Amino acid sequence: MTRKVEISHKTIIFTIVFLGSIWFLYFIRDIVLQLFIALLLVAILNPFVNKLSKFKIPKGVSVLLSYVLIFGSFGLTIASILPPLIVQTTNFANNFPIYFHNLGLQNYASEEVFKQLVSQLGSVPSQIIKAGFSLFGNILSILTVAIFAFYLLLIRNKFDTNVEFLFGKEKTKEITNLVNVLEKKLGGWARGQFALMLLVGILSYIGFILLGIPYALPLAMLAGIFEIVPYIGPVVASIPVIILGFSISPFLGFMSIGLAILIQQLENYVLVPKIMEKSTGVSPIITLLSLAVGFRLAGIIGMIISIPIVIIIQTIFWYNTHALEVEQ
């Protein structure tokens, strides 16, 4: 007997509205991405703004001071290291065939592989310059994110009032608690991860200088950037250092391996426990998968926001499951 399936008008309307909402979000995906990055920036900067506000500094001035301190320091750092970074990276790409030959790796790699590797390395300096121009070319997007974050920081203390207006008194406390937990986890993760990347980069740079390894600046930056990828990142970042070390002398090669192990142990047993005390609890395999998916979907920006998205999903699920209550 054939069963008759009836679809109500409410189901049809809900389906149309749902699909329309998905299409609309996809249509304004650039704005949604900018807003998401702005919210992440709010989670990072809000503790600084609150500390400045305790000195009876107006909220707007506190936000501006936070912007100047954070972005000013970041801009000055980039401006100071970019010229030597380009020079050292260019020299490394030009001299890599010599190091490769000194190490004798050409005996184990085909000529085609060698040419491809040299070609890729040769394009690194131009890629750095192109990335710099691309960054300035997207200055409007950066300003949009900064303005979003500025106004969100200004109204952060009025969040309860705005939530109550939208959702009523019953849901206000629950939503506020959830937002506080998300802000704490996202801000803690972002500040901790940035501190880890900075410290690993600085320690690597000092180690490379002491050992006399050439191209210390780009190699140290590579070590700092790859710190975001658990376990695999530090290993990958140490490979060019070890190749350079052995191409110069066996002693320097073994010292490079020792330095990589030392920094790895220092990171695992000192830096991570101290800096990431309030860890977000995202497992390494989930981190790797989210980074890969984020890069596939949205490139570098996708990688940057992939972990925060995982943290948000994980926190919301945990909050709903355990009925978490946060002290106000």
Q: How many CB atoms lie within 10 A of CB 236?
A: 13
Average pLDDT, the chain: 75
Q: Give the separation between CA 155 and CA 38, rounded to whole angstroms.
A: 13
Q: pLDDT of 25-51, one tens digit each? A: 777 777 777 788 888 888 888 888 888
> Model confidence over 262-275: pLDDT tens digits?
988 888 777 777 66
Q: Which long-range contacts (CB under 8 A, 24 or more apart) does 144-149 make?
A: 144/34, 145/34, 145/37, 145/38, 145/41, 146/38, 146/41, 146/67, 146/71, 148/34, 148/35, 148/38, 149/38, 149/39, 149/41, 149/42, 149/45
Mean pLDDT within 116-127: 52
What pLDDT, on the 0 to 100 scale, is given for residue 300? 66
How far apart are the C-alpha atoms of 211 and 111, rounded to whole Å? 32
Give the pLDDT of residue 282: 67
What is d(CA 171, CA 163) in angstroms, rounded to the nearest whole number? 8
- Residue 80: band (very low, low, confident or very high) from pLDDT cuts 50, 70, 90: confident
Mind listing the pLDDT tens digit for each residue in 196-211? 888 999 999 999 999 9
